[in-house]
A and B are shown apart, each in its own frame.
Chain A
Amino acid sequence: MNKAMSEQGAATTAKEDAWVPSVCMGCYNCCGIRVHRVDGRVVNIEGDPEAPNSQGHICAKGKARFLDLYDPDRLLRPLKRTNPEKGLGVDPEWEEISWDEALDTITERLARVLEDDPRKLVIAHFDMPGYGISKAFGAAFGTSNLHWNRADYCGSAPHVANLLLNGSFNGELDFERCRYMVLWGTQLGAIVETIPLHSANKMAEARANGAKLIVIDPFCGNAAAKADEWVPLKPGTDGILALAMLNVLLNEHGLYDAGFLKSFTNGPYLVGADGHYLRDPATDKPLIWDGAAGEARVFDDPALSEPALEGEYTVAGQVGRPAFQVLKGHLEQYTPAEAERITTVPAATIRRLAREFGEAASIGSTVTIDGHELPLRPAGIHFKRGSGAHKGGCHTSLAIHMLNLMVGNLDVPGGQRGVNPVGPFWAPEKDADGMLVPAQHIAKYFKPYPPREPQVPQTLDLNELFPASLFTRGMFAWGISEPEKFGIPYRAEVLLQGRTNLMMNSHNPQAMAETLAKVPFQVSFATFIDETAEFADIVLPDSHDYERWDLFPANDPYAFITPGPGEWYWLMRQQAVAPPGEAKPWTDVYLELADRLGIIDKLYDIGNDIWIIDEQHKLDASTRPSVREIAERQAKTLLGDDFSLDQISDTACMITRAKTIQEAYPRPFLDARVPIYLEHLIDTGEKVKQVTDELGLEWDFRPYTPLLSYFPCHAHEHPDAEYDLFVVNFKIPFITFSLNHNVWIDELAQGNPYTYNVMLNRATAEQKGLEDGDRILIESRYAKGEGTVKVTELIHPECIGIPATLGHWARKLALSKYKGTAFNNFLPAPNVDHIDTLSGQTDSCTRVRVRKI
């Protein structure tokens, strides 16, 4: 069978040879791909050259993951647990069962819950296009307990900052014009994060063309490796660094875009002694001091000509200062010297970075694009989980983002940009105070603004206690464990879980094991029996994403269509091969369960709205449309009646039209303001307090302040001499959001010193007498783990670095078991000391100690 490696050797005997265009699900990013199928087997994956988010490129894991289809550990038949005991290390003693038996058992359990109290059903998975199916199922069933997963990982706090200031869920930089790029706690451009192939390509090009890159991160990851300057800091202290930089910009250099602040923010709104806006008694609108008229006017008075940003004014007997003035004064406490003490970043560096950024933004400059003269601000900061996943995460993310706002670079050429705040059928709105309200199609979940009315939780993610949040999925474990503490009048009874490994991606496994064991009946959809599926009562063999159809578009515009100029493109995930054995797509199983439970008509009825299907293409429930048929109706609604799935040949990327200038650079065209002063938090915090007092809950109200502030993590506020190091997590470009349970990825990981090891700074290692290859015991107050030392210059000396989500222990994961160390294991279960009570973000700062074993 072996052929000579010569020009004659490549003859093929294949009978069937096809390339199926589709969409990758190796992480959450939905890159366009082409699946090469030969004789019914997938043999290769390439990037789809027609898809703007991949342009024919592909990442290592996207290329490698078709091996997962043929992995000998893959689950091919339904299993049931015969050992009633659930716990870490407990053998479930699986027994193979038929699909009929599995679905009969599940239907019976669900029917009881449906009749008793549907809220007792919890749905846990991470599956972008699949959310539409489970959302419709949840709505038809009557539960809001859905989408328990670690979406807060990236997460709950940073997205809020983007939604408030960009009106969009995610952020990016204008690589084409940005000349000073800052990455803060993220590795955008290093095949992690948003639209990774596109951002990697464009960032490399920008750098090649001379743009400067600064990376602020405790670990020098692949992104920092390409930076002009790596700025290491103590983990979790990003907030005070940002506040000190703001202080330098505003109070030392007066570097800010006054025009932007006056027209597009609440900076000129007058703030009274009680922290609230001064309002016009007749209209209740916030007031602005007009320097030209020498009197206060409502914010949208067309006669307003000189909005004051500074000063102190008396209006109808009340003293008010512009919000900008209030913030500016408040920032004075955050001196570079104090920030140096906390972050370890030298004060001189803090001053220099602030000045460089402010100057690079070239405030006042403009560029003409398509006949429109627009502001040009060629400097931008992008931030994510590294800086935001901390106790004061929401304030920290906002403080970082406020640096962008102050130079007026939001959603204008050269600057930081939100991911599609304005699109073909959505746009932000403004409320009565003139403030921006993101479009629901982009906010996707709860809108952080305007805030909701807090109340005693009825949902296990406790979202009712976080009325200014986006989502609070990290709280599910807490709500499920202690519903009575929050006044929730029911307990979780059934868990439908899949595609999110809760045992490994949340916090210490003992605590999570106790939470899962509290749910009487768990069904897991799995391709491999991972650590979470080991707690299931029934495991159903799931399909791989190459083996299923999905709702359309696979690439939701809130995060997965390239922002800025370009085209509106929509991708369809197509089934390339049939699932093996008895595996089925979980989405099909949900539809079947809905049918058995008698809620299928309702599911399609609700689905017509959730799936954005217009009147003309509404689904007829009686025909029991498949996922493929639903997708086709969605596509016809968006692309027109002529579209048919059968037309798809070379590409599954459908381009509708080019973006308009208003869609590409929306900010100058938006008639809505964004906040530099979070006035709404004053009342919201008081309302939250009423609820938590009623429940007798200990709660942290400090973040409910209108002024951006630094709230140290518990690990910083409570020095613990015994635990002298912080543990910090970072991403690896070939593992992010997927498994190392893949022969090729495992091989890369073994050859890369920063993957299966625990990183320790050389000075720290020497002090502890540790060397490369030493096995160490790592202990936090919450858990223990082991690791292998890699001595390096690439990490802050007060840290140990543990990458990705590694260190599997599930008994069936023969390949990946015990490789690497599990970072999340060291974290505590959610509690008031380790969450951001504003956004629901869980805190990643944990102290550890290490010793040689």
Chain B
Amino acid sequence: MPRYGMVMDLDKCNGCNACVIACKVEHNTANTVNFTRILEREIGTYPNANRQFLPVMCNHCEDASCIDVCPTKATYARDKDGIVLVDWDKCIGCGACILACPYEQRFQILDNRTVFPDGQTAFDKPDTNRAPNGVTAKCDLCYHRIDEGKEPACAEACPTDARIFGVVSEDSAEDETPFQNLNDLISRANAFSLLPEKGTKPCVFYVG
């Protein structure tokens, strides 16, 4: 089975935030809810100062702690590719997964109005899974796009190709997936994942 993930090239990310809006559009997420973000910090002191950008999202962990703690089995990994999803019919919004996720990539949906908060939403997007109120939502790696052979919206938008989507498992056969294998990138000396000590085996990697 191909396991999907992403490599973030930190050399290339310039903090433009195209990915954040692409995700927002794709998922019609509520105000202040972003399934992907770019964390940013300053380093050094003037004039030897600079900025660093770190794109973050659900790591679609192989040993996901959110799956382990879910009391209703609403959170699950898709059999065919390991994408971690939430079945909103089963989710009771208890928040256990929010506490369990070491990456803070789960969001409780309390008000799912998306665009114009005061009054009727003039904008509506018929083909999108908008999270209902009272559940937990998260990055779904754009599984609906992957199933159509398209990369996730954030990776497609990224002007600098800093987000590289593909297969992170070593054992996938070429005919199983139309997407590139990322193992060469992941095995680079400077490749890392976030919080490896949590033991969740994240599928999002960073280089650069």
B78 touching A57, Cβ below 8 Å: no
Q: Are A733 and B49 in contact (CB under 8 A)?
A: no
Complex Cα gap A763–B46 (Å): 9
Find out whether the CB atom of A5 lies under 8 angstroms from the CB atom of B22: no
Q: Is the CB of B115 within 8 A of A743?
A: yes
Q: How far is the CB of A804 from chain B (nearest CB, A)?
A: 14
Min Cβ gap A256→B in Å is 29
- For the complex, is A113 an interface residue (Cβ under 8 Å from B)? no
Which A-chain residue is minimally distant from B143 (CB atoms)? A7
Interface string of A174-211 (1 = CB under 8 A from B): 00000000000000011100001100110111011000
- Write out, one digit per residue, whether chain A residues 713-737 have a CB within 8 A of any chain B CB (1) or not (0): 0000000000000000000011000
- Interface pair B16/A220, CB less than 8 Å apart: no
Q: Does A752 have its Cβ within 8 Å of any Cβ on chain B?
A: yes
By the criterion of a CB under 8 Å from any partner CB, how many residues of chain B are at the interface? 62
Judge whether A734 and B16 touch: CB under 8 Å: yes
Q: Are A201 and B159 in contact, with the CB atoms below 8 A?
A: yes
A7-B147, A225-B15 given; A220·B131 CB < 8 A:
no
Contacts of A752 in B (CB 8 A): 17, 40
A72 within 8 A of B: yes
Does the CB pair B11–A793 fall under 8 Å? no
Q: How many A-B residue pairs have CB under 8 A?
A: 198
**Is the C-beta of A385 less than 8 angstroms from some C-beta in chain B?**
no
In the complex, per-residue mask of A217-238: 1 if CB is within 8 Å of any chain B CB, else 0 = 0001011111100111000000
Write out the residue numbers on chain B whose beta carbons fall within 8 Å of the beta carbon of A734: 16-18, 21
A232 to B37 CA separation, bound complex (whole angstroms) = 28
Q: How far is the CA of A795 from the CA of B51 in the complex (A)?
A: 12
Q: Is B160 located at the chain interface by the 8 A CB criterion?
A: yes
Nearest-CB distance from A20 to chain B (Å)?
16
Judged by DSSP, the binding face of A is mixed
A56 within 8 A of partner (CB):
yes
A646 within 8 A of B: no
Give the chain B neighbours of A45 by CB distance below 8 A.
Answer: 25
Partner of A39, one of B12, B22, B126: B126
Within the complex, what minimum Cβ distance (angstroms) separates B125 from chain A? 5
- Of the residues A201, A230, A761, contact of B50 by C-beta under 8 Å: A230
Known: A60-B16, A748-B17. A10 touches B49 (CB 8 A): no
User: Do A207 and B51 have beta carbons less than 8 Å apart?
Assistant: no
Contacts of A747 in B (CB 8 A): 24, 31-32
Contact A743 B116 (CB under 8 A): yes
Chain B residues within an 8 Å CB radius of A39: 126
Q: Does A597 sit at the interface, judged by CB under 8 A? A: no
Chain B positions within 8 Å of A203 at CB level: 160
**In the bound complex, CA of A567 to CA of B114 (Å):** 41
Chain B 1-37 near chain A by CB (<8 Å), digits 1 or 0? 0000000010110111110111011100001100001
Q: Provided the pairs A6-B87, A200-B159, A793-B49 are in contact, do residues A60 and B20 lie with their beta carbons within 8 angstroms? A: yes
- Report the separation of the CA atoms of residues A41 and B28 in the bound assembly, to the nearest whole angstrom: 15
CA–CA, A197 and B161, complex, Å:
10
Tell me if B126 and A9 are in contact (CB < 8 A): no
Q: How far is the CB of A853 from chain B (nearest CB, A)?
A: 26
With contact pairs A14-B126, A204-B160 given, residues A191 and B18 touching in the complex (Cβ less than 8 Å):
yes
The reply on B129 being an interface residue by CB < 8 A is yes
Residue with the highest number of chain A CB atoms closer than 10 Å, among B22, B87, B143, B156? B22
- Find the A residue at minimum CB distance from B37: A751
CA distance A763 to B20 in the complex (A): 33
Chain A residue contacts of B156, Cβ below 8 A: 46-47, 56-57
Kindly state whether residue B190 has any CB partner on chain A within 8 Å: no
Instruction: List, in ascending order, chain B residues with CB within 8 A of A56's CB.
Output: 156
Q: Smallest CB-CB separation from A197: which chain B residue?
A: B159
Q: Are A64 and B25 in touch, CB under 8 angstroms?
A: yes
Contacts of A208 in B (CB 8 A): 9, 11-12, 208
Expressed in whole angstroms, the minimum distance between the Cβ of B34 and any Cβ of chain A is: 8
Alpha-carbon separation in the docked complex, A9 to B130 (Å): 10
**How many Å from the CB of A745 to the closest CB on chain B?**
8
- Count of chain A residues with a beta carbon within 8 Å of a chain B beta carbon: 74
Task: State the Cβ distance, A657 to closest chain B Cβ, in Å.
Answer: 26
Main secondary structure of the interface of B (DSSP, over half): loop
A201–B18 alpha-carbon span in the complex (Å): 13
Query: Most B CB atoms within 10 A — which of A57, A205, A796?
Result: A57
A372 within 8 A of B: no
- A733–B15 touching, CB < 8 Å: yes
Contact yes or no, B50 A220, CB < 8 A: yes
The contact of B162 among A2, A204, A794, by CB within 8 Å, is A204
B62 at interface, CB cutoff 8 A: no
**Considering the complex, which residues of chain B in the window 112-144 have a beta carbon less than 8 Å from any beta carbon of chain A?**
112, 115-116, 119, 122-132, 137, 140, 143-144
Q: Is B157 an interface residue (CB 8 A)?
A: yes
For the complex, give the distance between the alpha carbons of A224 and B14 in Å: 9
- Find out whether the CB atom of A57 lies under 8 angstroms from the CB atom of B157: yes
Which of A46, A63, A201, A205 gathers most chain B CB within 10 Å?
A63
Contact B46 A44 (CB under 8 A): no
CB-defined contacts of A44 to chain B, threshold 8 Å: 25-26, 125
Verify if A297 is at the interface (C-beta below 8 Å from B): no
A818 at the interface (CB under 8 A from B): no
B159 and A57 contacting across the interface, CB-CB below 8 Å: yes
Contact at A225–B51, with CB atoms within 8 Å?
yes
Determine whether the beta carbon of A9 is less than 8 Å from that of B129.
Answer: yes
Q: Answer yes or no: A12 CB below 8 A from chain B CBs.
A: yes
Bound-state Cα–Cα, A710 to B156, Å: 46
Given the known interface contacts A220-B49, A222-B14, the answer about A793 and B131 at a Cβ–Cβ threshold of 8 Å is no
Residues of B within 8 A of A792 (CB): 42
Q: Are A761 and B46 in contact (CB under 8 A)?
A: yes
Question: Which of A224, A733, A744 gathers the greatest number of chain B CB atoms within 10 Å?
Answer: A744
Give the shortest distance, in Å, between B58 (CB) and chain A (any CB).
12
Chain B residues near A47: list those with CB within 8 A: 156-157
Known: A4-B89, A222-B16. Contact between A63 and B42, CB under 8 A? no
Complex contacts, B192 vs chain A, CB 8 Å? none
Q: How far is the CA of A5 from the CA of B137 in the complex (A)?
A: 9
What are the residues of chain A within 8 A of B24 when measuring CB–CB? Answer: 64, 744, 747
Interface residues of B in 62-93 (CB under 8 A from A): 78, 85-89
A5/B159 in contact, CB under 8 A? no
- Selected from A63, A72, A796, A797, the residue in CB contact (under 8 A) with B119 is A72
Chain B residues contacting A761 (CB-CB under 8 Å) are: 46
Chain B residue nearest to A580 in the complex (CB): B122
Q: Give which listed residue, A12, A59, A794, contacts B159 with CB less than 8 A.
A: A59
Q: Report the minimum CB–CB distance from B158 to chain A (whole Å).
A: 7
Decide yes or no whether A306 CB sits under 8 A from chain B.
no
B31 touches A743 (CB 8 A): yes
Indicate if A43 sits at the interface (CB-CB under 8 A): yes
With A733-B14, A748-B20, A794-B46 as contacts: A5 and B158 at CB distance below 8 Å = no
Q: How far is the CA of A208 from the CA of B140 in the complex (A)?
A: 29
Bound form: Cα–Cα A655–B62 in Å: 45
Distance A795 CA – B131 CA, assembled complex (angstroms): 41
Tell me whether A88 is interfacial, beta carbon within 8 Å: no
Shortest A41–chain B CB gap in Å is: 7
CB distance from B149 to the nearest CB of A (A): 13
Contacts of A38 in B (CB 8 A): 125-127
CB-CB under 8 A from B137, the residues of chain A are 5
Inter-chain contacts of B129 with A (CB < 8 A): 3-5, 9-10
16 contacts between A and B (CB under 8 A): A3-B88, A4-B88, A5-B140, A7-B143, A43-B125, A45-B25, A57-B156, A57-B157, A57-B159, A59-B159, A63-B21, A225-B14, A226-B14, A232-B47, A747-B24, A762-B46
Counting from the closest, the 7 A-B pairs by CB-CB distance are A2-B132, A793-B49, A204-B160, A225-B51, A733-B16, A204-B12, A70-B122
Given contacts A59-B16, A203-B160, 11 further A-B contacts (CB under 8 A): A7-B147, A10-B129, A43-B128, A57-B159, A222-B51, A225-B14, A225-B53, A230-B49, A733-B15, A734-B17, A744-B24
